[in-house]
Amino acid sequence: MRAIFLGTPAAAVPSLDALGDIAEVTGVISRPDRPRGRSGTPRPSEVTAAARATGIDVSQPDNASGLTETIAHLVPFDVAVVVAYGMLIQPEALALARVGFINVHFSILPRWRGAAPVQRAILAGDERSGVSLMAMDVGLDTGPVLSTAATQISPREDAAELTDRLAAMGAVLLRRWLPAIVAGTVAPTLQDPVRVTHAAKLGSDERWIDVGGSVGSVLGAVRGLSPWPGAWVRHNTGAVRLLEVTPGSSRLDEGSLSVTSGDLELGVGDGSVRIVRLQPEGKRAMGGMDWARGLRADLGGVT
């Protein structure tokens, strides 16, 4: 079985490793190097680094036409595996694989089609998530599903942690089912259009949480927006990122801060949350009470 792989972030690497165990990987495609860190030095994606470490050629086209040309140069191949690649694949490119393009998608389709399925699941308060192997077509995550695996979302699991778990699950699913998919012995299941939800890409403007929301929505925002863009509130000392919160024990006005039984609590729409850890903008992370002690008696409130 000859295969190519398209992926970019660390979450795609387990599937690349799995594909290498069951197929001859004749090429890897990833997004171009981009600036990272304070230095702004361009660095390769995690997939690029992993592929080069095993001696696999990596291509990094920066637009749709370049991607199609790159895929055409890799013909012939039986199947392409796509995991969080980050660019739409044109129909003429999809037609170049003998069997097709298989997407490892981090949700139970048709729920959460789109760029941010893990984050949207947590933000929506979903109790479970999963991984789908999907035969790609010209739509955005609209193709038939070939296999799925489900898992419960832990009440304290953030988006980064859940993504890591789903990445490992996706690799297991791919290793188990891809040979049968290529052999044509797996029956595809069309997605139910009635159950479709869309997972739009997160925007930086979503970092400001709604302190008038419920306890559950605030807890979900802190978990679902981690690691990016983070869950932020505005205080009179500047912007503050909430890193870890738990349900509080008080009934406080929305946005008010109070020290209750040795804990820093924030009033929200239907109660309060306990702020365990936070990070003032431009400063180090610290305990909620350490920050409160630095303010002395003037806690004020947040919006």
- Return the closest-CA partner of residue 302 out of 250, 225, 240, 249: 240
- Return the closest-CA partner of residue 5 out of 102, 134, 112, 88: 102
Task: Give the DSSP H/E element, type plus range, for residue 23.
Answer: none
Prediction pTM value: 0.95
SS3 85: coil
What is the pLDDT at residue 36?
Answer: 80
- Cβ–Cβ < 8 Å for 103, 83: yes
Half-sphere exposure of 279 (CA within 13 A, CB side): 14
What is the pLDDT at residue 260?
Answer: 84
* Triad 3, 74, 57: Cα angle to 5°: 80
Cα–Cα distance, 26 to 221 (Å, whole number): 41
What is the pLDDT at residue 157?
Answer: 97
Q: What's at 81, amino acid-wise?
A: V
SS3 165: helix
Pick the CATH number of 204-295 from 3.90.550.10, 3.40.1360.10, 3.40.190.10, 3.10.25.10: 3.10.25.10
Cα–Cα distance, 131 to 106 (Å, whole number): 5
What token pair was written down for 248?
Answer: 């509080």
What is the pLDDT at residue 174?
Answer: 98
**Surface-to-core class of residue 73, CB atoms within 10 Å of its CB (0-12 exposed, 13-18 middle, 19+ buried):** exposed
Residues near 200 by beta carbon (within 8 Å), at least 6 away in sequence: 114, 115, 116, 120
What is the pLDDT at residue 298?
Answer: 77
What is the pLDDT at residue 299?
Answer: 87
Residues near 119 by beta carbon (within 8 Å), at least 6 away in sequence: 159, 199, 202, 224, 225
Q: What is the DSSP letter of 206?
A: G
pLDDT in tens, the chain (303 residues): 999 999 999 999 999 999 999 999 999 999 999 988 777 889 999 999 999 999 999 999 999 999 999 999 999 999 999 999 999 999 999 999 999 999 999 999 999 999 999 999 999 999 999 999 999 999 999 999 999 999 999 999 999 999 999 999 999 999 999 999 999 999 999 999 999 999 999 999 999 999 999 999 999 999 999 999 999 999 999 999 999 999 998 889 999 999 988 899 999 999 999 999 999 999 999 999 999 999 876 788 888
CA dihedral for 118, 123, 129, 133, sign (positive or negative): negative
Residue limits of CATH 3.40.50.170 in the chain: 2-199
Cα–Cα distance, 260 to 4 (Å, whole number): 57
Whether the link from the prior residue into 227 is cis, omega within 30° of 0, is yes
**Surface-to-core class of residue 56, CB atoms within 10 Å of its CB (0-12 exposed, 13-18 middle, 19+ buried):** middle
- The residue behind tokens 């941010």 is 116
What is the pLDDT at residue 194?
Answer: 97
What is the pLDDT at residue 297?
Answer: 66
What token pair was written down for 101?
Answer: 């393009």
Cα distance from N-terminal residue to C-terminal residue, the chain: 56
Q: Which CATH class is domain 2-199?
A: alpha beta
Residue limits of CATH 3.10.25.10 in the chain: 204-295
